[in-house]
Amino acid sequence: MKKKLRNFFLFSFCFTFFYLSLLKGLNAIEADLGENLFKHSCAGCHMNGGNIIRRSKNLKISSLKRNGIDNPETIAKIARQGIGIMSGYKDELGENGDEIVANWVWEQAQNAWFQE
């Protein structure tokens, strides 16, 4: 009985470790993809989270919240459909690209666009 219990816990530990490692790896891949999508589709106007056309419409957390953009889903919708004079980038971002870049932008905004 003890041997079965020990094997069960050993298997559970290994499975949990593998699962968590896999999630961390997938998150890193998504972050890299988000950064690349941003560089190719957004950075022309929003370099380092700023805005070269309308300074008040930047991607800093205070501006986002002031403009009612308080979650990644709203950023994804704007990236996909556009807002104001900004066109939507649905085709350029590809399938789920709006969500990926929005999550990356939200994370950058949370970190004050700190560049490593």
Please report, rounded to a whole number, the percentage of residues in the chain having pLDDT higher than 70. 81
Q: What is the pLDDT of residue 26?
A: 46
Do residues 49 and 115 make contact, with C-beta atoms less than 8 angstroms apart? no
Asked if pLDDT for residue 19 goes beyond 60, the answer is no
Where does the pLDDT of residue 107 fall: very low under 50, low under 70, confident under 90, or very high at 90 and above?
very high
Look at residue 10 in the predicted model and tell me its pLDDT: 67
Mean pLDDT over all residues of the chain? 85
Write down all domains in the chain, each with its CATH number in brackets: 28-110 (1.10.760.10)
Which pLDDT score is estimated for 3? Answer: 74
pLDDT in tens, 33-63: 999 999 999 999 999 999 999 999 999 999 9
